[in-house]
Structure 1
């Protein structure tokens, strides 16, 4: 008689860790307030605000860096006050004069139905010029130091050099603001208590019981060749309903899910549709017969299933039904049916800051925690901590859907510059989207530039990238600075997320150690995009 081996079961019920969601600082919010919803302002004011916010940081670093350089360079506050033959350093905003950049004539051509040239993959060319400007004017920068600097428009920079007889500024060295202070530095995330349900994956049992955050982007539900099978597996995995004991133990340690844009597939119009005469189509219930609500309904069903188990943060992306200009505002909750009834489901702006802290008490195991509208822990208002303790360890997560990196990538020569290098540079530039508003559309802010980094995040997530990549960036700080926050060591984990529809990849990040793991989803006989493998 055949003997059937018993199914492996955990020695104790699997419990999901709960983290406390904190409200981000007021200066780190990307929500557009009613008072700022005006398009009457000039975009030039954003550059002046950015320069005023970051100039002092560049000046302090430049004086420490070049204070003992031979020749005793002096600081010239205005770029037009530079004297020929005098070693000095200046501070201003970088402007890339690139002949291949889009111009207003192309926009007029589109408005008048004149065939415009197709969009270019790169703006970079050998005829590019680097300018540095401030309130007084603009000066042209030259020199070998600029060749591999990977500069883009909008970066606040200091330049050390001498003005030549031609009126150009010969650059010897450059300086940036450096990484912003990190409030969480020196406050380690607490180690988990050893329990029977801690997972032992890849031989790293010490990290198994930690809280993990799940990251994904580019679900593109409803797109051509959509990865519907992989999306269903993803939802079941996050709910702990698929895989063996090891997979269920690992998914049980996930405290929240972040979806970094492009949850819905783009609308693709065929060439014949654009050129042919519009034909009359029958309508049914007030909609065109080609209209279908299924992509939104399918996405809402998946989000509802996941929101029953863990908190979900949803960001809009380029292909989602949201405004094009940055920062993209949160998608309407009413779009997502049953998921909107859960307090664990949150629609975020793009970009957004997500701040979490360790749970002050174990997550409740009663059925009320999974009921619609129920909060996930005590002491919260709208899912956020009402009275966060300033001394408690926190994790700051900066997320965007990839538009700033995609736009900056057009400015640089590749190789040697990579997408990872550009993202790392934004930390040292203290700016998330420096090319806005030049070639990246953004809101005409008048009183502030929300893309300036007031603090260095612990986790920096960029969605919808061609391939997965990660790097741990560390900065020892400046010991000579009076500000204690500037002297502290900064550490930031950068994660570039690929499109899930093409890769089937889910990324997990350990909130205590910032360790990264990958989970691959695939259906036998099908590729990640839904076609035959």
Structure 2
């Protein structure tokens, strides 16, 4: 096989690996989010409406009468179907059974806007494609009784983007997700085919040599939670099952072969042995004693941000995208990814319905720089499209399928930003 292409690499995920202060309250993250996003929204307001309308804080709306005014705040979506700890405890005590739901929108959902001290109910703004935690600016008027009538709105939208590098030849990054080594017996042959292919043993050696990196986007150990015994306690303990330990050992063996061939970035996922809440820190190297000896083995965080050959990548193992689709009428993972760019936030539903650390000085999930490639792992199927921002930012959105279900990887051409699946299905 021809010599493999090597490109420069930089891990830019430092803000996702810092240790937070556990003594703080979760309200602080919304305050820091609003503080950081407000200057961006003021810039968007100037761009869209100029100085035509005054900007007013929510708690000062009643102090003066405005025909039309702009307010800035964080959206809160009141949903009666939203899971509740109190309801779960009541169900455990057989007081009030809850229906098993995977989607929590309802026609009775109501939208509110909050700032540091005030909350207003929002009227005339379609909440179907919105979720709790979005920071935005609304143009409208106070109609009394704590209600605000909306005429128009604006989000922070796409951030500035570094210049896209020029590649003189086709160069590829291979994405994988949902390897599920707990149930590897169901697709062990497909994993073996993957290893053979990346080693150039199945032909197509010219293209394989152009694969400079493999990014594994979460749920490598399992794609489903470990089952616990039924209990009414909210702190039930689940011991490590022998299956999980064997799965980690098998994954280490798989990575050992892979790291001898190409650089590999391993992100933790929802059901991997890492902290459960976001951001997930890199999995500990002691779990992978064989592969951790190689410099080509990189344990990275979730979310993950890096530069490969000057091309900017940002992505998650899929939890924020799935949560957005659970609590809104966004049904397509690519649409959810695009919404995150429009809202300028990687995980807007955290900490409301998606667990995260109680950050108080800054919100690490705010997108500070528009990536060239924005991906989400562990989705139902592969999909990809190019989207464009107002300042001609071009972003390749990629929905990565679970390998354990589809036996597919995704190959991205860095030269053209065109991607397609590579199937390791056996016939």
Tell me the TM-score normalized by structure 1: 0.74
Which of 418, 429, 446 aligns to 2:332? It is 418
* Structure 1 counterpart of 2:75: 94
State the alpha-carbon separation in 1 of the partners of residues 332 and 240 from structure 2. Answer: 44
Please report how far the alpha carbon of residue 337 of structure 1 lies from its aligned counterpart in structure 2 after TM superposition.
2.9
CA contact (8 A) 1:79 1:139 kept: no
Please report how far the alpha carbon of residue 522 of structure 1 lies from its aligned counterpart in structure 2 after TM superposition.
0.8
CA contact (8 A) 1:30 1:450 kept: yes
1:164 aligns to what SS in structure 2?
A: strand
Please report how far the alpha carbon of residue 427 of structure 1 lies from its aligned counterpart in structure 2 after TM superposition.
0.6
1:223 aligns to what SS in structure 2?
A: helix
CA contact (8 A) 1:297 1:337 kept: no
1:311 and 2:256 are equivalent in the alignment = no
* Structure 1 counterpart of 2:150: 171
1:450 aligns to what SS in structure 2?
A: coil
CA contact (8 A) 1:85 1:164 kept: no
CA contact (8 A) 2:178 2:223 kept: no
CA distance 1:341–1:419, shift in 2 (3 Å): same
* Structure 1 counterpart of 2:61: 81
1:442 aligns to what SS in structure 2?
A: coil
State the alpha-carbon separation in 2 of the partners of residues 349 and 290 from structure 1. Answer: 25
State the alpha-carbon separation in 2 of the partners of residues 265 and 115 from structure 1. Answer: 32
* Structure 2 counterpart of 1:228: 188
Please report how far the alpha carbon of residue 219 of structure 1 lies from its aligned counterpart in structure 2 after TM superposition.
0.6
* Structure 2 counterpart of 1:188: 165
1:326 aligns to what SS in structure 2?
A: coil
State the alpha-carbon separation in 1 of the partners of residues 76 and 68 from structure 2. Answer: 22
CA distance 1:270–1:410, shift in 2 (3 Å): closer
Please report how far the alpha carbon of residue 419 of structure 1 lies from its aligned counterpart in structure 2 after TM superposition.
2.3
From the CA coordinates, give the structure whose radius of gyration is larger: 1
State the alpha-carbon separation in 1 of the partners of residues 187 and 207 from structure 2. Answer: 23
CA contact (8 A) 1:230 1:521 kept: yes
1:49 and 2:32 are equivalent in the alignment = yes
Question: Which runs of 5 or more structure 1 residues have no equivalent in the other structure?
Answer: 1-12, 193-209, 276-286, 358-393, 478-488, 525-533
CA contact (8 A) 1:462 1:497 kept: yes
Question: Which runs of 5 or more structure 2 residues have no equivalent in the other structure?
Answer: 232-238
Please report how far the alpha carbon of residue 442 of structure 1 lies from its aligned counterpart in structure 2 after TM superposition.
0.3
Which of 397, 411, 415 aligns to 1:508? It is 411
CA distance 1:232–1:310, shift in 2 (3 Å): same
CA contact (8 A) 1:153 1:438 kept: yes
Which of 86, 108, 131 aligns to 1:152? It is 131
* Structure 1 counterpart of 2:235: none
Which of 37, 40, 48 aligns to 1:65? It is 48
Please report how far the alpha carbon of residue 106 of structure 1 lies from its aligned counterpart in structure 2 after TM superposition.
3.0
Please report how far the alpha carbon of residue 167 of structure 1 lies from its aligned counterpart in structure 2 after TM superposition.
3.7
2:266 aligns to what SS in structure 1?
A: strand
Please report how far the alpha carbon of residue 84 of structure 1 lies from its aligned counterpart in structure 2 after TM superposition.
5.6
Which of 309, 328, 353 aligns to 2:305? It is 353
Please report how far the alpha carbon of residue 99 of structure 1 lies from its aligned counterpart in structure 2 after TM superposition.
1.0
2:255 aligns to what SS in structure 1?
A: helix
Please report how far the alpha carbon of residue 512 of structure 1 lies from its aligned counterpart in structure 2 after TM superposition.
2.2
CA contact (8 A) 2:13 2:306 kept: no
* Structure 1 counterpart of 2:171: 211
CA contact (8 A) 1:140 1:169 kept: yes
Q: What is the CA RMSD across the aligned residues, in angstroms?
A: 2.5
2:288 aligns to what SS in structure 1?
A: helix
1:233 aligns to what SS in structure 2?
A: helix
CA distance 1:270–1:177, shift in 2 (3 Å): closer
Please report how far the alpha carbon of residue 136 of structure 1 lies from its aligned counterpart in structure 2 after TM superposition.
2.6
1:117 and 2:94 are equivalent in the alignment = no
Which of 469, 480, 496 aligns to 2:383? It is 469
